[in-house]
């Protein structure tokens, strides 16, 4: 892992980001992308460390994207209150010494009549877009269960914005946290199905001292709320743990939606265990 001298370069323009990544690759570097929505914590910084150490063949140029993606929020969800601290995020990334560039575009969607710019909206619905963005990526089966059953636009928004980031940054490697387990599996399937030449690394969950999985939304938990708290690849429900499995939980505490999961790699010696 080679340290990056000085502060990371901040890039806001899509064409400039693509040109930057192509220059790094021409220099013989592996480009590793860590997509985030900002308000960074130690869990995000662990993804940066994983990205910086991801290549055994040569130097790595780590790119961290910071973009609160409006298309994965339904109108009733918390886009307007999603925490943000860009200046703090840049300080944290500079302190790692491992980040070469930060991509923080003002908008990644073509807005109706706006030529590609405009204010964030809670949900980019096709019917209201006019001549704006209308192309979506859906991982049809994997997105339906678990969180997808209650958040019908979420994984469409995730898959679409991640594909856009892949097309802009053109990374060799991308790192995602396994805390968002279904999201990670959806992205792995999208990369496989659409032939992206990108290695996807799933990084293990980083937890707070009290065991809570680190999340930008944890800041919204009250002190009292803070004290309370499938088959792996295809996310098919299992009656017995007779293959690698995952227990996935999404729960509301007050007004904050939290997710967590645990992977189970072994099974009971008698051939399985009821769950």
CA separation for the pair 217, 194 (Å, rounded): 31
pLDDT given for residue 138 in this prediction: 95
The answer to whether 31 touches 24, Cβ cutoff 8 Å, is yes
3-state secondary structure of 71: helix
Please check whether residue 197 lies inside any domain of the structure. yes
Percent of residues in the chain assigned helix, strand, coil, to nearest 5: 30, 20, 50
pLDDT given for residue 253 in this prediction: 63
In this prediction the pTM is: 0.75
Closest CA to 190 of 156, 241, 151: 156
268 tagged catalytic:
no
The answer to whether 25 touches 177, Cβ cutoff 8 Å, is no
Please check whether residue 69 lies inside any domain of the structure. yes
Give me the helices (H) in the chain, please: 14-26, 42-52, 86-96, 154-169, 181-193, 223-228
Cα 44 from chain centroid (whole Å): 10
Total domains in the fold of the chain: 1
Please check whether residue 148 lies inside any domain of the structure. yes
Please check whether residue 249 lies inside any domain of the structure. no
- Tell me the β-bridge partners of 249: 260
Please check whether residue 13 lies inside any domain of the structure. yes
- Of 44, 133, 220, 267, the catalytic one is 44
Residue where the block lists tokens 């925490």: 83
Please check whether residue 246 lies inside any domain of the structure. no
3-state secondary structure of 62: strand
Residue 65's H or E segment, with its range, is strand 60-66
pLDDT given for residue 99 in this prediction: 98
pLDDT along the chain (275 residues), means of 10: 69 98 97 96 93 91 97 82 93 97 95 53 51 91 82 92 98 93 94 98 74 54 51 70 71 66 60 43
CA separation for the pair 125, 131 (Å, rounded): 12
CA separation for the pair 97, 1 (Å, rounded): 10
Residue 117 belongs to domain with CATH number: 3.40.50.620
- Tell me the β-bridge partners of 213: 207
Q: Let me know the angle formed at the C-alpha of 114 by 64 and 34, rounded to the nearest 5 degrees.
A: 10
Q: Please give the structure tokens belonging to residue 90.
A: 């840049």
Please check whether residue 270 lies inside any domain of the structure. no
Closest CA to 32 of 99, 83, 94: 99
Residue where the block lists tokens 């790692």: 96
Please check whether residue 215 lies inside any domain of the structure. no
CA separation for the pair 66, 63 (Å, rounded): 10
The answer to whether 246 touches 181, Cβ cutoff 8 Å, is yes
pLDDT given for residue 222 in this prediction: 57
* Domain assignment of residue 135, given as a range: 9-207
């Amino acid at each position: 892992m080679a340290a990056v001298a000085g502060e990371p370069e901040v890039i806001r323009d899509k064409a400039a980001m693509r040109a930057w990544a192509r220059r790094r690759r021409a220099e013989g570097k592996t480009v590793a992308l860590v997509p985030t929505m900002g308000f960074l914590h130690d869990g995000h910084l662990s993804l940066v460390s994983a990205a910086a150490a991801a290549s055994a063949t040569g130097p790595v140029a780590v790119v961290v994207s910071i973009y609160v993606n409006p298309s994965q929020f339904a109108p009733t969800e918390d886009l307007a209150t999603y925490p943000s601290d860009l200046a703090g995020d840049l300080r944290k990334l500079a302190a790692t010494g491992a980040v070469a560039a930060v991509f923080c575009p003002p908008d990644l969607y073509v807005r109706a009549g706006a030529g590609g710019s405009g204010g964030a909206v809670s949900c980019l619905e096709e019917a209201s877009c006019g001549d704006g963005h209308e192309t979506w990526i859906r991982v049809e089966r994997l997105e339906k269960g678990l969180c997808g059953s209650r958040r019908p636009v979420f994984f469409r928004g995730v898959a679409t914005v991640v594909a856009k980031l892949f097309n802009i940054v053109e990374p060799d490697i991308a790192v995602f946290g396994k805390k968002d387990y279904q999201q990670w599996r959806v992205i792995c399937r999208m990369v496989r199905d659409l032939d992206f030449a990108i290695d996807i690394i799933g990084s293990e969950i980083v937890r707070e001292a009290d065991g809570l999985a680190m999340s930008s939304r944890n800041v919204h938990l009250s002190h009292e709320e803070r004290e309370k708290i499938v088959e792996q690849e295809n996310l098919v429900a299992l009656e017995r743990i007779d293959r690698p499995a995952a227990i996935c939980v999404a729960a509301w505490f007050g007004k904050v939606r939290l997710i967590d999961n645990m992977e189970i790699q072994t099974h009971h010696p008698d051939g399985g265990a009821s769950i």
